[in-house]
Amino acid sequence: MLRILFLLAPVLLAPAVWAADPFTFAEAQGLLRTHCAKCHGGKVALGGFNFAQFPDEASLLTRSKVWARAGNLIREGEMPPPGNPALSLEDRDRFSTWIATTLHKGACADGITPPAFPLRRLNRNEYTATVRDLLNIPVNAGRNLPIDGAGGEGFDNAAETLFLSPIHAEKYLEAAKIALDYAMRDPKSRAAFLTPQPDARATLTALLPRAFRRPVTPAEIDRYVALFQAAEKRGDTYDEAISYAIQGVMLSPHFLFRLENSTPDYALASRLSYFLWGGMPDAELFKLAGEGKLADPAVLSAQAVRLLKDQRSREFAENFVGQWLSIRELGRDIKPDAKVAGDYYETEVESGIRYEPALFFHEILMQNEPLTYLLDAPYSVVSSKLARYYGMTPTGIRQQPVRFNLPPGSHRGGLLGMAAVLAVSSYPTRTSPVLRGKWILESLLGTPPPPPPPNVPELKEHEGATPQTLRARLEQHRANPVCASCHSRIDPLGFGLENYDSVGRWRETDAGQPIDASGVLPDGTRYRGVDELKKVLLSKKKQIVRNLTGKMLGYALGRGLTMEDECAVDQIVTAVERDDYKAHTLITEIVRSVPFRTATVRQESKP
Amino acid sequence: MKPLSRRTLLRGSGAALALPWLEAMAATGPGAKRAKAPVRMAALYMPNGIHPGMWTPAGVGREFTLAPTLTPLEPFKKSLIVATNLWNQGSKGGDGHYVKLSGFLTCTTVTKTLGVDINCNGISMDQVAAQRVGQLTPFPSIELGVSPVTTGVDRNVGYTRVYGSHIAWSGHTNPLAREINPQSVYERLLRATKPAAGNGPRNDAQLLDLVLDDARQLRAQLGRADQVRMDEYLSVVRSLEERLERATTPAQRKWKPRVAIDPAAKPEAQPKDFADHVRLMMDMIALAFQTDSTRIATFIFGNEVTNQNFSFVDGVKGGHHSISHHMDDAEQMRQYQLINQWHVAQYAYLLGKLAAMPEGESNVLANSMILFGAGFRDGNKHDPHNLPILLAGGGGGRLQTGQHLIYGPDSPLSNLYVSMLDAFGTPVERFADSTGPARGVLV
């Protein structure tokens, strides 16, 4: 019973990313008695929650979901409700950290039994990649599908938010027609999915297992052959009739959904390919699945590395990085103002800026370099125009972005020097130390600041303010203790990036005033400039890699992490740390983790 | 003379135009009476609230003066209802943005979640109507916007951003995906009246039969949670099948639109800028209503918390969300008001467009109800009291327009929806927290 509760408990907290020392049980009891007893103690139990029913730490585990919620409500300042004395941010942190640690320890104590993979449809990108590989066409078949929202760890492949609207059915029908129209006319494509001589049964016998990503029964083939025959009977040509049958295949839920109910080895092959390629498995994966070899951890690791080294893994890098770091919003909701953006909107510059983080991340993966390069690296991946935009001399590079060793004093190297990151955390017309600090806390450290309390308006930070008054105003704002509690964490991180303007160009002055890029962190650490800020963040590399690991595991699983998944994250991070933060280790540890292999390890994981 | 079918005409002309021949489409002969044009309904949602001091008209009832933000509506004052003091109790609390937008048309409190428990705990009023009369038109409803769902989940406040992008909910757990590409909307409308080459609707329906069979068989093998997903799939495929069936059978509609879609008037897929994009989407709503492709539309100008750069508006420099946190600073508030006014001007553009579309002896606007609103009032406070709510169009003669209606403090917004559903011909006893129809709205 206990186990079931763990499985269901959502993890909104970031366990093990301890911002503060957790309370002891006695301290927590003290806080609850002082601030919560009126509504949740003794005889009263508003919302069905009475803390007096939990005599010790172990008893929290019997209602972990309720306690996880209590921790979130207190962390986010929703409890105690308005009209009661507010808690200090430190108490909120220490309390919610206490809950997170307690539940986390409890969840990990008796092994990991992850939930089954939820049924989910292919998202827009996966659909496009799958159609491309199935029919061997260079066409973006999913172009007209609605853009998917995100759930879970923040990715659009999360089962929970991949809902269906009537428009999807319409667009799938349309997309299948467009894709097949193209494919039937292209000899290269025809060769990939049609038999040399017209033979509907042979064609469908070969196509169906690929389309459904698993072996199929003769009865299944018959159904689609019948479609072909129906079309032929009404006078369609062979091409028209086979195309019609394949449209049926492409509308089937077996094609449109990822199903993991019947064939664990094939399911694992799909999990691997959709994780690292964003598309369907290739012949080698199918073969290994058919031979029952894929579940072998050594084979799984080797395949993961093979997939990474294939160019298709760029799809993964783009989808993952674009969402993890919010880069995808560039050109969507976030568009730098053309009047201040200089060369930003030059064709090759803008695309170079948008792709740089993903290409850089991909290069780290391909070369098995340390993940700490994300914080500081000797190279980036730029085109000649982007190099020039960054003020460097682009020797030896051209239009195509390539790995480029950074000259000394380039002020680049690592994510924080990338224009995409700097622009996505700015306002359209100017920089914002608050947005940038928030971006670092959320995207890198995995500790998003709590929302501002109700009725305390957001920072008085006006568009168009001069930097001098902006910094002064931020300092004044932090003099207010209510604001200071959070902003003393946020702003000082953002100040370190002030040498970059709102589109990521280096600057020494702003509006005639010299830039002050120094900051004092809440623990008293002082730093000056982005290079020292990077050192500060490198000292927190384990926390940053833990955050990255959680995100990537959530992406790989296509769902939000449970408390037990967080235990797997701990194990992965330990292994990655032991291997000097090598990128391949992160990937291989994820695919070998219990939650990723779930169905195949379900038996062996339990004593 | 045998009345012409619309398709016959389309095949013949290839263009879409209000022409005298359309009179021939009206059924003639003994007893056939020209049917009355149907009522159409749209809801336009503006993110990030309003400047509270520049919105509410001076005066009450029929004697009122438009406040600065509403001045673009001067030409439509006689077709307009300004409703003051309505609130959306369900969207109180939660966070400052996501619960406001997702609960705007449902008048419920959405469940706080990063995704796994997504639930708006109600059905939006447009879908209540669509589920009753949607079968009369090619599309039960259309859902439009200009920007894709915002990337990621918002871990600061603990909500998935899906909530900040969807106001139409066909079921508690079914937000309706929006179309953001005007060309794609246009092609969709066109296809519905003029089936594309290829299989044709009858053969498409045969494909879907097989697919439904697959899904039903599959469903039987699934666990309960997964069955819910498969049910969603069954339901969307069935809805497409029904639509295709309707396309192969003569329309059951008594009333027929006087115009068809002009295949030559295709809008661009990637509008040159935000303002252009919004205009094109307004055009698509007007076109859909004029051609009776649907009678129900929802549109959001942007996802909640959008920081869309509004520097293209004279006198504004910066992003929408950051300016909406005006801190009572005069300069910020001035810009905020200009942004609000720009939105109202787009609303006025749509009203003008509909008014210019003749329909019988009146026009499409007179047969429409176009709602405009935001999910909270002051962008600095994020509370859903005294929401900015406008309703325009004659509602087929059912609405008492040309009024500033001032309700008692905190009167339910849902009451207005009760009145609108009545005027639309899909009356309900209650809607969410409604206490009755909104006073003074209906004739």
Cα gap A551→A555, rounded to integer Å: 6
pLDDT band at A106 (very low <50, low <70, confident <90, very high): confident
| Distance of residue A552 Cα from the nearest chain B Cα, in angstroms | 13
What is the arithmetic mean of pLDDT over A520-546? Answer: 94
pLDDT for residue B31 is more than 80: no
Residue of A nearest to B182 (CA): A144
Quote the tokens at residue A173: 């029908």
Residues of A whose CB is below 8 A from B300: none
| Distance of residue A399 Cα from the nearest chain B Cα, in angstroms | 25
pLDDT for residue B24 is more than 50: no
Orientation angle between helical segments A583-592 and A264-276, nearest 10 degrees:
150
> In this predicted structure, what is the pLDDT of residue A554?
96
pLDDT band at A466 (very low <50, low <70, confident <90, very high): very low
| Distance of residue A446 Cα from the nearest chain B Cα, in angstroms | 9
* Residue the block writes with tokens 């001035």: B334
pLDDT for residue A571 is more than 60: yes
Q: What is the DSSP string of B36-54?
A: PPPPEEEEEE-TT-B-GGG
Q: What is the DSSP string of B399-432?
A: B--SEEEEEEEEEEHHHHHHHHHHHHT---S--T
Max mean pLDDT range (A493-497, A595-599, B18-22): A493-497
Cα gap B233→B227, rounded to integer Å: 10
Of A111, A257, A122, A14, give the one whose Cα is nearest residue A568: A111
> Could you tell me which CATH class the domain B35-193+261-424 is placed in?
alpha beta
Express each pLDDT in B320-342 by its tens digit.
Answer: 999 999 988 999 999 999 999 99
pLDDT for residue A170 is more than 60: yes
Strand, helix or coil for residue B7: helix
CA distances (Å), origin B63, targets A549, B56, B354, B380: 63, 13, 25, 31
Cα gap B233→B218, rounded to integer Å: 11
What is the arithmetic mean of pLDDT over A350-355? Answer: 96
8 A C-beta contact, residue A166 and residue B239: yes
- Report which of residues B5 and A433 the model is more confident about: A433
> In this predicted structure, what is the pLDDT of residue A461?
52
pLDDT for residue B7 is more than 50: no
Quote the tokens at residue B84: 């003051």
pLDDT for residue A395 is more than 90: no
Residue among A10, A149, A169 minimizing CB distance to B161: A149
DSSP B442: B
> In this predicted structure, what is the pLDDT of residue B8?
33
pLDDT for residue B168 is more than 70: yes
- Cα of first residue to Cα of last residue in chain A, in angstroms, is 17
Quote the tokens at residue A472: 């002064």
* Residue the block writes with tokens 């219990």: A594
pLDDT for residue B2 is more than 70: no
Of B268, B247, B253, give the one whose Cα is nearest residue B194: B247
Residue among B158, B223, B309 minimizing CB distance to A12: B158
Residues of A whose CB is below 8 A from B177: 146, 163, 165, 167-168
Task: Look up residue B110 and give its amino acid.
Answer: V
- Say whether A256 and B233 touch across the interface (CB within 8 A): yes
Tell me the percentage of chain B whose pLDDT exceeds 90.
75
- Say whether A457 and B325 touch across the interface (CB within 8 A): yes
Which stretches of A392-516 are DSSP H helices?
419-424, 433-439, 467-479, 481-495
What is the arithmetic mean of pLDDT over A481-493? Answer: 84
* Residue the block writes with tokens 């039994």: A113
Of B387, B377, B382, give the one whose Cα is nearest residue B416: B387
Strand, helix or coil for residue A402: strand
pLDDT for residue A482 is more than 80: no
Residue among B173, B184, B207 minimizing CB distance to A247: B207
pLDDT band at A599 (very low <50, low <70, confident <90, very high): low
What is the arithmetic mean of pLDDT over A150-160? Answer: 95
> In this predicted structure, what is the pLDDT of residue B197?
54
pLDDT for residue B22 is more than 60: no
Tell me the percentage of chain A whose pLDDT exceeds 70.
92
Residue among A155, A450, A461 minimizing CB distance to B156: A450
* Cβ-Cβ contacts under 8 Å for A424 (sequence gap 6 or more): A325, A326, A327, A329, A330, A334, A439
DSSP A110: T
pLDDT for residue B206 is more than 80: yes
Whether B385 and chain A come into contact, CB under 8 Å, resolves to: no
* Cβ-Cβ contacts under 8 Å for B69 (sequence gap 6 or more): B50, B51, B54, B55, B337, B340, B341, B344
Domain ranges within chain A, ordered by starting residue: 2-109, 120-308
pLDDT for residue B198 is more than 70: no
| Distance of residue B185 Cα from the nearest chain A Cα, in angstroms | 10
pLDDT band at B10 (very low <50, low <70, confident <90, very high): very low
Residue among A146, A257, A442 minimizing CB distance to B177: A146
Tell me the percentage of chain B whose pLDDT exceeds 70.
90
> In this predicted structure, what is the pLDDT of residue A124?
97
Q: What is the DSSP string of A503-547?
A: TS-B-SEETTEEP--EEE-TTS-EEEHHHHHHHHHHTTHHHHHHH
Residue among B143, B208, B232 minimizing CB distance to A163: B232
pLDDT for residue A7 is more than 60: no
pLDDT band at A285 (very low <50, low <70, confident <90, very high): very high
Q: Which of residues 168-197 of B touch A (CB under 8 A)?
A: 170, 173-181, 184, 188
Tell me the percentage of chain A whose pLDDT exceeds 90.
67
Express each pLDDT in B139-159 by its tens digit.
Answer: 999 999 999 999 999 998 899
Centre a 10 Å sphere on the Cβ of residue B140 and count the other Cβ atoms it contains. 23
Cα gap A439→A428, rounded to integer Å: 16
Residue among B151, B210, B215 minimizing CB distance to A150: B151
Chain mean pLDDT for chain B = 89
Quote the tokens at residue A524: 């008293």
What is the arithmetic mean of pLDDT over A548-557? Answer: 97
Whether B325 and chain A come into contact, CB under 8 Å, resolves to: yes
What is the arithmetic mean of pLDDT over B372-378? Answer: 97
Residue of A nearest to B212 (CA): A252
* Residue the block writes with tokens 């259309």: B142
Q: What is the DSSP string of A442-455?
A: IIISS-PPPPPPTT
- Say whether B318 and A427 touch across the interface (CB within 8 A): yes
Question: How many interchain CB pairs under 8 A, A with B?
Answer: 234
pLDDT for residue A56 is more than 90: no
> In this predicted structure, what is the pLDDT of residue B237?
95
- Report which of residues A245 and A82 the model is more confident about: A245
How many CA atoms, within 13 angstroms, populate the side-chain half-sphere of residue B71?
8
- Say whether B156 and A333 touch across the interface (CB within 8 A): no
Express each pLDDT in B246-260 by its tens digit.
Answer: 777 666 667 778 788
- Say whether A76 and B158 touch across the interface (CB within 8 A): yes
> In this predicted structure, what is the pLDDT of residue B5?
40
Q: Which of A49-63, A152-166, A463-477, B300-314 has the lowest mean pLDDT?
A: A463-477
* Residue the block writes with tokens 């509907």: A200
pLDDT band at B213 (very low <50, low <70, confident <90, very high): very high
